[in-house]
A and B are shown apart, each in its own frame.
Chain A
Amino acid sequence: MDQRDTSFFRRPIPPAAIVLIALVVHAPLLIMQLPTTTTYDANFHIFFASHYAHHWFNPWNEQWFAGFSQTTYPPLGHQWIAILSFIFGLNMAYMLVQLIGVVLLPVGVFRFARLWVSERAASYAALLSVFLGTVAFLVYSAGQLSTTVSAPFYLLALPYFYEWLRWGRGRALAKGVVLTLVAASIHHVTLLFGAILFAAPVLMLAWMDRRAERDGGGLAVLGRAAVFTALSAIGVAIVLLPYWISILQHPIEQVPIPHASRSNFLLNVDYGMNYFIVPYGALILALPFIVIRGASVPRLRPLLIFFWIAFIFGLGGTTPLPRLLLGRAFQILTFERFTLLAALLALPIVGLLVEELLDRAPKLASIGVSIAAIATFALALGWMYFSPFKTIGGMNVDSVVSFLNRDGHDKYRYITLGFGNALPKVSTYTTANSVDGEYNSARLLPEMTQYGAAQLTSAKFFGRAGMESLRAMLKHANRYGLKYIFVHDAYYDPLLAFAGWRKIETFDNGLVTVWSKEDVPPARKIESDAIPAPWEGLLWGILPIGCSFFAILLWLLVPDRVRSLEIVPSSTPAEVPTYAREAH
């Protein structure tokens, strides 16, 4: 007689409870608007969203780089913020969109893990995803809104991909493709690597499952995969058409900008801590189990292999593999996002580990795993304060904004020095334009692309390249109408003094000084061939957001009729004692 085990520790955690836990953990931090003060990129995303809020159908933004096209970055995340900003304001709208991402993540992890492991192990994987160090790192330190919102949509699309591959259900194809388009409309890089790192193991799994079920069914799986890939590719090509046009017109050919995530973490302890220890946290302890169990169970091997690839990529320049495989793209990409992808790929196996631990010693394991999860999350949050890499996104820029917006000062361009990631905050609220900006891929001005440095505001951190770039820009101040310079770091004072700028005002008890050059003419429009055509603006304003509305409609109107996750063989090897088995 089959007897159900009713122990709390041997039952799956309900997804609703996991979502609630995600809300409890992340909502307070987001309501406190932590990312605006602690992250590198939150202000950047808010700045992009602000432009859409004011110019929905015009992606040409003159506030940075003397003009750049926002079609160089998928718009959906920013457009959601823009829409919500009309009700909640820009900052809170950002937090809401981010909250959607972190709440959808455990749901996505659960559904993805369910492809590989039991419902119970999948629920543990989903719960652990709430406390992932890499999620905390990306959300509260890096501010990678697009990656963290796009990844859950990929994860949600994968079970439909599997369902389509296995059983050829049309509605699964439709939902899978639409969710892929939504994910791609949020972040292009996640699309590219997600397609390889997530879709490939699922394809292999479907192929293996199909062959195990029916002899010789592999070709049908491959055929369906081709259909899914073709539809997704066509959809992405159409939905993000202005992006492809801009990237083909202006491929990224600038001199590579150094990034710490491309370093060898063994040669720099701080980088190792920042990009390995903190994002993985207690997952590092589970690495041997992930590899051994992943290798032992044939069904988990595709997952293991692609986890390993993502893991190696997440190590940046610690191994030569990413550089060899990516070529020049290695110098353009940043690699912290691969840590998230690796962790998400590992979670199903980690769910198995937790399942086994709970079966062996329920109370001890539950306490141990909880402490490990919370410690991982706490380490990632605590690292923001102990890390040598500090952000100043929370800096008060009101006086700077007020100066620029009064007395016709916005007739000229400006730059900031020493403002770090507070620059987008200035740009969001001022009517004046800058030649600087925080989005390296969109830069076309030679003074910025030829030196191998990123933002002018952080020039000193890029050493000689940064200061050369700054000098080049200051030399051409008259050409760009660059009259005002706001300095939040006295390091830059000597250069400005020798180069002909004069200090004219001081704000915030001397923390910020304003420098001006008298012979600079008012800024004029800089002609560019990168300005998108009006029809591109129209497409950009309609298709990505349309995809997301269509996805919501599909979810509401076409419910999942068949659970695609009902047939999952056990991922526990035969010789491992089985303490509980699911009833199918």
Chain B
Amino acid sequence: MRHTFVFFILLLLSELSLTGARAADLHPPKQVTAGNGFSIATTGNGDATFYLVGPSDRAKQTVRLGNAIEVAADDVRTAGRYIATVCGSDGCASSAFYVVAAAPAQLSFLVHPSRVPVSAKDAISAVAFVFDKFHNLVLQPVKVDFNVAVKDAPAISRSLPTNNGVAWIRLNATRKGGPAQVVASIGSISEHRVVQQVASDACNLRIKATRKGNSVAVETETVRDCSGNPVPDGTVVTFTATDAKGKTTVDAPIKRGTARVQMRLTGGATISVASGVAMGNEVRIGGTP
């Protein structure tokens, strides 16, 4: 709290002195790169106090007017507008300058969603934010390479410039299920994300039924979506059988590509199958031999 107060007082002093009378003068460079030390030339004579106030840095040192003021690299690590103020016996003088981000050093890479149905158009959104080593957003345009790699499928690569530090791309999901490696890179800097491309709804769901005494074993063929990708294990398949005793239903998860159940059925029965909103075939099975 106390530091914040001092900061605002200094800022106020600086702003006032920018418009006030100048006994001494400062000549900072117009633009400085973050994390680089530099000198500020001064005019006047005598001892003075130098203040440097930036977006998240501040510094104070005693200087001699007329000599150059050395600003340490650590004092200008945050990009943004800085105000340099020098206060001597004749009053204060201020000057503003900008610190810009250093060379790209980090990428923040947002990929959404984490799961996407296969063949979905523009379903994957990849956004890259380019930062320097001090976490300053690099506003200068930089080329970001996006690369999507899916096993057993050709990789997709595109290169896009950043706009105000951000580059983004929308990608189609491939027809092939499985993990898609999405990579954003700038030179040697790269970030990896994984998007699971998952099978869509079951397509052409088919079952076969075999009677074993009083029960009937019902099993699906390998459950696949319309692109031929196997529907993930755990997906629920609903078997419905109607016999003389009434209706029997079982919600069974797919295990190793197929779902199977044993149903206690007497006499002839009609068995159907569904998964979610997708319906499958219907089979009729005769009574006990």
A and B in direct contact, judged by CB atoms within 8 A: no
Residues of chain A touching chain B, judged by Cβ–Cβ distance below 8 Å, are: none
Which residues of chain B have a CB within 8 Å of any CB of chain A? none
